[in-house]
Structure 1
Amino acid sequence: MDKSGLAPRRTALYLLDQITGEGRLMAEMVASGVLERLAPEERARAQGLVMDTLRGMERADRMLQKHLRKEPSLTVKNALRLGVIEICARREAGHGVVNSYVELISRNKRNAMLKGLVNAVLRKFTTDGPEAWDALRTPRMPKWLRDPLAEAWGAKPIAAMEEVQFAGAPLDLTPKGDAAALAERLGGELLPTGSVRLRDPGQVTALDGYETGDWWVQDAAAAVPAKILNAQSGEKVLDLCSAPGGKTLQMANVGAKVTALDISADRLKRVHENLERCGLKAKVVQGDALEHEGKYDAILLDAPCSATGTIRRHPDLPYAKDGSGFFSLIELQEVMLDRALTLLNPGGRLVYCTCSLLPDEGEVQIEELLARNPNVQVDTVAMDLPWVEDAWRSPEGGLRLRPDYWADRGGMDGFYVVCLRLNA
């Protein structure tokens, strides 16, 4: 392990360059093996530093703005951002932080001549930087995303969501067995929906019950769609777009005959791994949802979407994307909804969900579906569960989950969920 701390910082700088410059997502890069050359604790440090920087990006940029006469190259700007986060937000010893980023830039042929700039700027934050950091407002989402969300939900709710996103996310687990017993065992909180929340979990694979498959990682909001579908033992159920498999595991756990379908063979490896670890069974199929054949008693469609509801866990998303692909996703959702209905047995039910905060990917999709298909109706009984809060209900009959709900508990992912029934 590199005791100087350069290795994780070098990796953090590379990751941040790839996210902000090349539009790559953190999960994609982790899966590619970028972090494999680091020791486990260095991997955690590099990832944590990047996540903290992305969450505090707007605040870091505001602090840097007054000290930069002109915009430096992206790599230099990202080195400065990382340095500001370490000094001001993480309260790391300024001398070591400054020296590390000066050294990293000096090794970069294209930017070596700017090592003096990095040194001069970062040193300005070593005395009163942390106090100046604390005085700034909560970082805001980039304008391209904030504007449409504020139009949908209002300025005050968006500010509340940003507070939750800036704080980061606790770890939620879906128990295979007794949720209350697992919460007590792990020292976690039993949420009203039945998920178990851990505030400071440490290494996930080292937690009690990981090796024995007693639980799987799944945000509390992401666990809601399968609870709404309420698959029964012996029912023939299709999980469309199933990877990484949390919802498949939920339905298999109650004895349903689950077919887990996903177009990505690589992502389906996670489904296989999770099923094996938890000792559960499902039929795993690699294929296109629009070409799948069969008839099912119940279907769960977690449609491809903007993922704008997951920013508290994935702060890279607003900086890796720019919203240009949203319209094609909305079109795909409509086609997949119509296709999924053709796979239902008469009287069957379909849960449609997206981890999005955009109404066009949730409420609007269902309003338009109901208008064009008189044989479909919202199953209001399925949506009427004791833990469903009134604030979650949307006018067309679905549930609108938002990051600022349960803010005092650490929030939840933004999700839209609705249960539909095909008339017999």
Structure 2
Amino acid sequence: MVLNSDDTDKAAAKGRNSTTGRRDHQRPISSLPAKPGLAARAAASKILAAVIDRKTPLDGMLDAEGGNPAYRVLEDNDRALVRAILNSALRHLPRIEAAIASMLDTPLPEGARALHHVLVVAAAQMLYLDVPDHSAVDLAVEQANQDPRNRRFAKLVNAVLRRIGREKQAILDRTSNVPAMPLWFLKRLEAAYGREAALAISDTQLEPAAIDVTVKSDPQGWADRLNGIVLPTGGVRLAAFDGSIPSLDGFVEGEWWVQDAAASIPAKLFGSLAGKRVVDLCAAPGGKTAQLVLAGGIVTALDQSASRLRRLSLNLERLGLKAETVVADMAKFEPAELFDAALLDAPCSSTGTTRRHPDVLWTKGPEDIAKLAALQERLLVHALTLVKPGGIVVFSNCSLDPSEGEQLVARVLANNAGVERVPISPDSWPGLEAAISPLGEFRTTPSMLPMSQGFAPGLDGFFAAVLRRK
């Protein structure tokens, strides 16, 4: 398990108190003073363990009020550091694990998961963040010393991380061809898109997503004012910046809202909705609801979460838009009068959003995708009963898996003679023609939408299809 004898001996010497001859890691934990930054690293390790080992979604643990206790007690700057560490660790996890494994003669013991997370957190800082190596190493060793499970491995932690620091560039070069996603999901992407496209998607998720906004009007004017560029979707992509979104021109006035370019597509597939009654199913947080209102629709926004609908209402209030809100389980929703159109942006595996949510591929597995696909199919079949004959249903989600998209829609069409597909024309989407399938369905992947210098490329992975009730 250990490195070479030189590293091990030096690490052991570092762990011994020169005055007493006693090893520091044998001191009682209570006598060890807290080092600056230690609490942030400890929080990052705990949260990483929750994501990887217990499949706990990251967003909830990083909530300022209801999140992980170790995170909530931190100051704002330490919270920002924890978020940066976790995002980097999860984006690059297979490469980090490959780097650590290459430092060991034998794998870590099966019961050493806490030690594994300490090493991953430290290595993420050293390889992918602007954190001094000595700080990452020192705090990781301190973490090991303060944990009874890891105390005996403190010198190993020191040796492994010091070698990573010395060989950093070689490690980055050596692991650059390691796909940055779980093997099970990479194989699913290969089956759906081919090896080259799957690897392109994997590489794209290594970088954070761009900031896109949907504007009420005048995209070019807002692009000029916000230092952005107009997208093929009609939205605006902002140049990289580290400021506050609410401080930007037009936010308080409700002239625009943050919405990924791909997420803005489904609502646009209806065209004009002037005078039509539209239901936005699973509506919160409301970006698509706002689009439907702007398209002229008389909109009912439905969601089973009252708190999420309250958030939607606040968002619409800022934008100066109005929609009726209904708290209901859409699977059981039966309106007094059928709608002209319905948007079902269905709950899904969210595998198309890994640039924003790098925990997704580590908290979900094939069984989750299968369950969610079955749920979406039931919801889509029910959504088709909510519109009048001739009414339109746009079905969408942010999954990359065809079982939640193309295959699902094909089954619904095969099993429901009273439904037909309305093909989307590539000519209507200049700049995104490659995202329209031969059947006329939308399929974006994160590796699409190249950008000029200064603007992050890509967009979320999305599927969308237009169906008509006969």
Q: TM-score, normalised by structure 1?
A: 0.93
Report the counterpart of residue 114 of structure 1 in structure 2. 153
Indicate how the Cα distance of structure 1 residues 112 and 393 shifts in structure 2: closer, same or farther if over 3 A, else same.
same
Q: After superposing the two structures, state which structure 1 stretch, 36-45 or 234-243, moved more.
A: 36-45
CA distance in 2 between counterparts of 1:191 and 1:381 reads 19
Q: After superposing the two structures, state which structure 1 stretch, 252-261 or 179-188, moved more.
A: 252-261
Report the counterpart of residue 215 of structure 2 in structure 1. 175
CA distance in 1 between counterparts of 2:267 and 2:417 reads 25
CA distance in 2 between counterparts of 1:199 and 1:7 reads 33
305, 322, 343: which one pairs with 1:281?
Answer: 322
Q: How is 1:127-146 mapped onto 2 (pairs within 5 angstroms)?
A: 127-140=166-179, 141-146=181-186
Report the counterpart of residue 325 of structure 1 in structure 2. 368
Q: CA deviation at 1:288?
A: 0.8
AA in 1 matched with 2:312: V
Q: CA deviation at 1:347?
A: 1.5
Report the counterpart of residue 242 of structure 1 in structure 2. 283
CA distance in 2 between counterparts of 1:205 and 1:115 reads 45
Deviations 1:245-288 (A, max 9, x none): 21112112334221111223343343233222222211222211
74, 89, 112: which one pairs with 1:53?
Answer: 89
AA in 2 matched with 1:22: R
SS in 2 for 1:353: strand
Q: CA deviation at 1:45?
A: 2.1
Report the counterpart of residue 24 of structure 1 in structure 2. 56
Q: After superposing the two structures, state which structure 1 stretch, 303-312 or 231-240, moved more.
A: 231-240
Indicate how the Cα distance of structure 1 residues 206 and 8 shifts in structure 2: closer, same or farther if over 3 A, else same.
farther
Q: CA deviation at 1:340?
A: 0.6
116, 119, 125: which one pairs with 1:80?
Answer: 119
CA distance in 1 between counterparts of 2:403 and 2:318 reads 37
213, 218, 225: which one pairs with 1:185?
Answer: 225
CA distance in 2 between counterparts of 1:37 and 1:281 reads 38
SS in 2 for 1:297: strand
Report the counterpart of residue 70 of structure 1 in structure 2. 107
Q: CA deviation at 1:223?
A: 0.6
Q: CA deviation at 1:104?
A: 2.4
CA distance in 1 between counterparts of 2:400 and 2:431 reads 18
AA in 2 matched with 1:323: P
AA in 1 matched with 2:316: L
Indicate how the Cα distance of structure 1 residues 349 and 168 shifts in structure 2: closer, same or farther if over 3 A, else same.
same
Report the counterpart of residue 21 of structure 2 in structure 1. none
439, 459, 466: which one pairs with 1:412?
Answer: 459
Deviations 1:112-154 (A, max 9, x none): 3322222121111222213421442244211121111111111
Indicate how the Cα distance of structure 1 residues 11 and 284 shifts in structure 2: closer, same or farther if over 3 A, else same.
farther
CA distance in 1 between counterparts of 2:128 and 2:387 reads 52
Report the counterpart of residue 89 of structure 1 in structure 2. 128
Report the counterpart of residue 40 of structure 2 in structure 1. 8
Indicate how the Cα distance of structure 1 residues 201 and 297 shifts in structure 2: closer, same or farther if over 3 A, else same.
farther
* 2:227–2:239 CA contact under 8 A, matched in 1: no
AA in 2 matched with 1:190: V
Report the counterpart of residue 195 of structure 2 in structure 1. 155
Indicate how the Cα distance of structure 1 residues 175 and 41 shifts in structure 2: closer, same or farther if over 3 A, else same.
farther
Deviations 1:20-52 (A, max 9, x none): 111011122233333443333332221121111
Deviations 1:230-249 (A, max 9, x none): 35233211111112221112
AA in 1 matched with 2:124: I
AA in 2 matched with 1:33: G
Indicate how the Cα distance of structure 1 residues 169 and 264 shifts in structure 2: closer, same or farther if over 3 A, else same.
same
2:344 matched to 1:310? no
* 2:233–2:429 CA contact under 8 A, matched in 1: no
Q: How is 1:194-213 mapped onto 2 (pairs within 5 angstroms)?
A: 194-202=234-242, 203-213=244-254
- RMSD over equivalenced CA pairs, Å: 2.1
* 2:280–2:343 CA contact under 8 A, matched in 1: yes
AA in 2 matched with 1:334: E
* 2:271–2:295 CA contact under 8 A, matched in 1: no
2:67 matched to 1:33? yes
Deviations 1:163-184 (A, max 9, x none): 1111221111112332222221
CA distance in 2 between counterparts of 1:139 and 1:281 reads 48
Indicate how the Cα distance of structure 1 residues 235 and 42 shifts in structure 2: closer, same or farther if over 3 A, else same.
farther
Report the counterpart of residue 3 of structure 2 in structure 1. none
Q: After superposing the two structures, state which structure 1 stretch, 79-88 or 7-16, moved more.
A: 7-16
Percent identity over the alignment is: 38
CA distance in 2 between counterparts of 1:104 and 1:231 reads 59
AA in 2 matched with 1:165: Q
Report the counterpart of residue 252 of structure 1 in structure 2. 293
Report the counterpart of residue 423 of structure 2 in structure 1. 380
SS in 2 for 1:290: helix
CA distance in 2 between counterparts of 1:196 and 1:74 reads 43
Q: TM-score, normalised by structure 2?
A: 0.84
Indicate how the Cα distance of structure 1 residues 134 and 280 shifts in structure 2: closer, same or farther if over 3 A, else same.
farther
Q: CA deviation at 1:397?
A: 2.1
2:262 matched to 1:221? yes
* 1:201–1:207 CA contact under 8 A, matched in 2: no
Q: After superposing the two structures, state which structure 1 stretch, 219-228 or 30-39, moved more.
A: 30-39
AA in 2 matched with 1:124: R
